[in-house]
Structure 1
């Protein structure tokens, strides 16, 4: 059995923060990124984890997790581009499952769209998650103008109300009223 990756909390302005910052900018389109400063601040809260991933001492990537009841939502997951295709993505998913123990795990991926420039990438990404035990959660959303499909691993399906509550808890009471405007179900 391959060892899970080592997960290390990312603190603002730490060595891990700067490693994840560059990867974050390269792995996610600008419109899908939230301020890393805000993410770091929110990770000080209970049920939110901002984690750098290591294979022994080698930085591999990072994940950002939000927990609500028995659900872990992977908000961000990125593997260093020089290490993609070498099994680290699957190891990262295994490590997250170990870290969150018996929780169900869910994430959103960009929906397939034959008009999208990166549709081939979207298809490969979906195939990767399905190969790693994820299944369609039958919850499609439009968030900040982008269409997403939810995939989940383990346990019962994710309820819409559960997902909205998870997002509202992440957004804090000040921002949570905007969730109903930012997230639409297809």
Structure 2
């Protein structure tokens, strides 16, 4: 699997937009045009996931010295169940970083519990601290979620530090 970083207009963006908007509710994602404005940002990586010359998904992650934060990750709905997601995460986890962090919906229904189990099989831990995804647009409400990470975040102070880092560098910075 290849991570093809997209940092400017690209032919794959049309299908990635379809998957992005189809996989995430409007309040859990940016307006796609706003996302395109971030493509030149050196910390943000929007990568097309390529397998044998075919686009099979995408991942959006932020890389800093102290953590990699996965903002969005989706596989082509017609390709799910073929281990592309597992292979993409395994490749991401080869990057040099002390922490890998992502947001998930709280385990309140079978879909969210299944998603959490998928990430747990990849080595992520569901952290026990309360977390709210900051809103993508100023004036909207935060969304109750959970953070998963490798390794587990055990200390409350450390968890709050990562939560603040994500809030400042991924969300509020772009209002």
Query: Same fold by TM-score, threshold 0.5 exceeded?
Result: yes
Query: Match for residue 37 of structure 1?
Result: 33
1:104-123 equivalences in 2 (<5 Å): 104-113=99-108, 119-123=109-113
Secondary structure (helix, strand or coil) at the match of 1:69 reads coil
Aligned residue for 2:121? 131
Give the drift of 1:8: 0.8
Q: Which residue of 2 aligns with 1:8?
A: 4
Asked if 1:153 is matched to 2:143, the reply is: no
Shift of 1:155: 7.2
For 1:91 and 1:35, locate their aligned partners in 2 and report how far apart those are by CA, in whole Å.
28
Give how far 1:125 is off: 0.4
Report SS of the residue matched to 1:64: strand
**TM-score for both structures, normalised by structure 1:** 0.79
C-alpha change, 1:167 and 1:146, in structure 2 (3 Å) is closer
State the match for 1:17 in structure 2: 13
TM-score (norm 2): 0.84
Cα displacement string for residues 12-48 of structure 1 (whole angstroms, at most 9, x for unaligned residues)? 4311211211111111112212022222222311211
Name the SS for the 1:129 alignment partner: helix
Contact 2:46 / 2:60 at 8 angstroms: preserved in 1?
yes
**Across the two proteins, how many residue pairs are aligned to each other?**
165
Structure 2: runs of 5 or more not aligned: 134-140
Change over 3 Å in CA distance of 1:142–1:102 after alignment to 2 = closer
**Maintained 8 Å contact 1:67/1:166:** no
Q: For 1:39 and 1:134, locate their aligned partners in 2 and report how far apart those are by CA, in whole Å.
A: 26
Q: Distance in 2 between matches of 1:137 and 1:155?
A: 6
**Superposition RMSD in Å:** 2.0
User: In structure 2, what is the Cα distance between the partners aligned to 1:133 and 1:110?
Assistant: 18
Change (3 A) 1:174 1:13: closer
Q: Deviations over 1:115-149 (max 9, x none)?
A: xxxx1110100111111111122333223443211
- Structure 2 counterpart SS, 1:142: strand
1:93 and 1:34 map into 2 onto residues whose CA distance is 22
